[in-house]
Amino acid sequence: MRYLVCIKQTPDTAELPKITPEEAASGKFSVNLVVNPWDELAIEAGLKLMETYGGVTGAITVGDEGAIDALRSALAMGCKDATLVKNVGADVSGVADLLAAAVKKDGDVGVVVTGQMTVDGNSGSLPVVLGRKLGWPVLTGVAKIVDLADDSITVERTVGQARLTVKTSLPAVVSVNKEIGEPRYPTFINIRKAARVKAPVLTADDLGVEVPAPVVHMTNFRKPPARDAKVQLFEGSPQEAAAALVDALLAEKVL
Amino acid sequence: MKFLVYIETDSGDVVASSWEALGAALSLSDDVEAVIIGDKISVGVEDVVKRGAQKVYVVEDETRQLFDLERHLADVKNVLDMSGADAFLASHTSNGRDLAAALGADKTAGVIADALELSVDGDKLKGVRGVYSGNILVDVTVDGSPQIATLRPRAFAAAEDTGASADVVLVDPANVDSPYEVLGVERTETGEVSLTEASVIVSGGRGVAKDPELGFDLIRELAGLLGAAVGASRAAVDAGFISYDHQVGQTGKVVRPDLYIAAGISGAVQHLAGMGSSKVIVAINKDAEAPIFSVANYGIVGDLFEVVPAMSEAVREKLGK
Ligand SMILES: Cc1cc2nc3c(=O)[nH]c(=O)nc-3n(C[C@H](O)[C@H](O)[C@H](O)COP(=O)(O)OP(=O)(O)OC[C@H]3O[C@@H](n4cnc5c(N)ncnc54)[C@H](O)[C@@H]3O)c2cc1C
Ligand SMILES: Nc1ncnc2c1ncn2[C@@H]1O[C@H](COP(=O)(O)O)[C@@H](O)[C@H]1O
């Protein structure tokens, strides 16, 4: 079976606070770009599928040329192939159209694996939108893949305060969370190999997709108001300090 | 603008943040209807009816006991047709997020996801949301009909019981086959307050390391006295001190309590991404230079193994618990 992992290149989380409104609006950053951390988990899940059930795991991203670095990371972790689909300013709906077309073109994809959300877009909606466009079932919040058969997948999902064991038919889209397991480190040999790889670059035309006009419009990018926090410290013995703190919290009416 | 608000249920109980979605709609319009889907939801239906919506559509069926994307989506589409609402609101829970995303995809409509604020501008919704993990705010509008938004839990005031009454419309469950078969259900946090809904959170970090079990026992004791949820840093989770469902931050849960108490947590940006918009932040850390103090409103420089039990003691004394 073929597994395809959807990844996105996003700013390093340590540098997110440095992003300026101008950078956010233009999508061009001076900060370091890496694989979206949730997507490292998706890669891990994709690789485990390949190791446990056989088959081939590939990675795909919709992005600009620089996103090849994210694909190289996926290859270095162990993905067998990588595809770059050129973005043309699409929003989630357009990205899903491009991915759906690439998935269909790929042939016998049984499972599309995604991360839970992107650290830049923060919506977590892409797997669902992609599933609807493909007409495939979608399992979000997947903590564990319990079983994969020719025509079905069984997973554990965490939803609110429940853990559900759910079975659905293949092909399917799954989005995974952190419980899937620590992403592995790239191996030296794979890093070497990945450095030389030229991922196929597909355009919307190649995929026969007419990218729809965005349906989500974002304007007025700005920094949130700074936290008005001048910390008030309580001193003395732990008992004295704790008592004064509790008094302050009662006065704030947050207890 | 006419609103339809999704009241989420889970095994018969209304998911509390649904009342916030209803509250948001009522603050924006006089023309608000609600849809509640589930099994054995008579108590929930009675509750919705009193909170100010004009009409409540009820889909009650055994197959609706747990959220099922295929079935619930089909029901919502039916009710949207009956209601003719211009806007659809849900809380940004996992299920609310999935439902809204699927509805948007099927209707070629955009979604204002995880909104922190919402207003009406002519025949459009306008939202404010965080991107880049809350480090940037944007205004968001969407195309399509209905106008769809999901709302960040605890960002909007809940609709209260006003003693009002509403028309109740019983709707047949949509006749669709679901591709999802639920083989088992396990409750993970029975009896515990949910992090995303909590108004007070007490969290522990790697600072408990010298005796993690005692450390989290002390944190749980304080949380218990305050009716608070228990959170944790990733370092505490990765070290196995507590399970992942307690993790707050970039790759954990995003929370928004009135009060967040961080004990033995340094305040890395990835932790702040999850709790930085808490109303009041308290830091307990033995290192006066820890970055958490630069976002905290109140702090104690000290050993959490002494300070946390002293806080429990003070709470017992002052609140008579
Ligand atoms: C991609 C990515 C995603 C991440 N996601 C998350 C996330 O979701 N959530 C998260 O929390 N982190 C996340 N992190 C990790 C984050 O960068 C920090 O490593 C983590 O938050 C540190 O946890 P900590 O504060 O408990 O530990 P430390 O940074 O080790 O801090 C421990 C603190 O405890 C204090 N201390 C020690 N002993 C005591 C004592 N007896 N009494 C009082 N204070 C004491 C110390 O002074 C110190 O400040 C992520 C990192 C990356 C790269
Ligand atoms: N441009 C993209 N290319 C490939 N996959 C993506 C892209 N954007 C989002 N995804 C996938 O969808 C998941 C959820 O993203 P989002 O809906 O943006 O929060 C991510 O974790 C990725 O797995």
Whether A203 has its CB under 8 Å from any CB of chain B: the answer is no
**A114 C-alpha to ligand 1 centroid (Å):** 27
Question: Of chain B residues 209-238, which have a CB less than 8 A from chain A?
Answer: 226
Q: Which of B95, B129, B269 sits opposite A159 (nearest CB)?
A: B95
The yes-or-no verdict on residue B189 having pLDDT over 80 is no
Residues B255, B116 within the same domain: no
Task: Give the Cβ contact number of residue B122 at 10 Å.
Answer: 7
Probe ligand 1: pick from B214, B246, B270, max atoms within 8 Å of CB? B270
Residues of B in contact with A221 (CB under 8 A): 136-138
Question: Of chain B residues 94-133, which have a CB less than 8 A from chain A?
Answer: 94-95, 97-98, 100-102, 104-106, 108-114, 129-133
Residues B84, B213 within the same domain: no
Q: Is A123 in the pocket of ligand 2 (CB under 6 A)?
A: yes
* Mean pLDDT score, B15-42: 98
Residue-averaged pLDDT of chain B: 97
Q: Exposure of A219 by Cβ count < 10 A (0-12 exposed, 13-18 middle, 19+ buried)?
A: exposed
Number of domains in chain B: 2
Name the least confident of A1-15, A222-236, B80-94, B214-228: A222-236
Q: Which of B91, B111, B135, B152 to mutate to test the interface with A (most CBs of A within 10 A)?
A: B135
**Residue B28: what residue type?**
L
Nearest-5° angle of CA B219, CA B309, CA A244?
Answer: 110
Domain annotation covers residue B258: yes
Q: Do A13 and B270 count as a contact with CB atoms less than 8 A apart?
A: yes
Q: Which of A233, A240, A252 to mutate to test the interface with B (most CBs of B within 10 A)?
A: A233
Looking at ligand 1, which residue's alpha carbon is closest to its atom 39? B207
Domain annotation covers residue B266: yes
Residues B23, B139 within the same domain: yes
Phi first, then psi: what are they for A26, rounded to 5°? Answer: -90, -20
- Tell me, what's the pLDDT at A89? 85
Residues of A in contact with B223 (CB under 8 A): none
Q: Is A204 in the pocket of ligand 2 (CB under 6 A)?
A: no
CATH of the domain at B228: 3.40.50.1220
Q: Report the residue of chain B nearest A121, measured CA to CA.
A: B131
CATH of the domain at B55: 3.40.50.620
Looking at ligand 2, which residue's alpha carbon is closest to its atom 14? A117
Confidence of residue B22 (pLDDT cuts 50, 70, 90): very high
What totals of helices (H) and strands (E) does chain B contain, helices first? Answer: 8, 18
Structural domain boundaries, residue B211: 200-319
Question: Of chain B residues 18-47, which have a CB less than 8 A from chain A?
Answer: none
Confidence of residue B298 (pLDDT cuts 50, 70, 90): very high
User: Rounded to whole angstroms, how far apart are CA atoms A105 and A92?
Assistant: 20
Domain annotation covers residue B176: no
Q: Do B111 and A19 count as a contact with CB atoms less than 8 A apart?
A: no
User: Rounded to whole angstroms, how far apart are CA atoms B224 and B204?
Assistant: 14
Task: Give the Cβ contact number of residue B8 at 10 Å.
Answer: 25
Domain annotation covers residue B191: no
Cβ atoms of B148 and B112 closer than 8 Å: yes
Which tens digit of pLDDT belongs to each residue from A154-163?
A: 999 999 889 9
Q: Which of B187, B251, B272, B306 to mutate to test the interface with A (most CBs of A within 10 A)?
A: B251
Domain annotation covers residue B233: yes
Q: Which residues in chain A land under pLDDT 50?
A: none
Provide CATH code, domain A2-207.
Answer: 3.40.50.620
Cβ atoms of B13 and B67 closer than 8 Å: no
Residues B68, B130 within the same domain: yes
Q: Do A137 and B282 count as a contact with CB atoms less than 8 A apart?
A: no
Residues of B in contact with A163 (CB under 8 A): 185-188
Domain annotation covers residue B303: yes
Q: Which of B297, B303, B307 sits opposite A231 (nearest CB)?
A: B297
ipTM for the predicted complex: 0.97
- Tell me, what's the pLDDT at B40? 97
**A114 C-alpha to ligand 2 centroid (Å):** 7
Angle subtended by helix axes B94-107 and B69-83, to nearest 10 = 60
Residues B156, B244 within the same domain: no
Whether A164 has its CB under 8 Å from any CB of chain B: the answer is yes
Residues of A in contact with B138 (CB under 8 A): 24, 218-222
Domain edge (last residue) among B154, B170, B186:
B170
Residue A56: alpha-carbon gap to chain centroid: 20
Probe ligand 2: pick from A3, A5, A7, A8, max atoms within 8 Å of CB? A8
Delimit the domains of chain A by residue range.
2-207
User: Rounded to whole angstroms, how far apart are CA atoms A241 and A255?
Assistant: 17
* Mean pLDDT score, B195-209: 97
Does the model's pTM come out above 0.80?
yes
Domain annotation covers residue B182: no
- Tell me, what's the pLDDT at B188? 74
Residues of A in contact with B282 (CB under 8 A): 245, 249
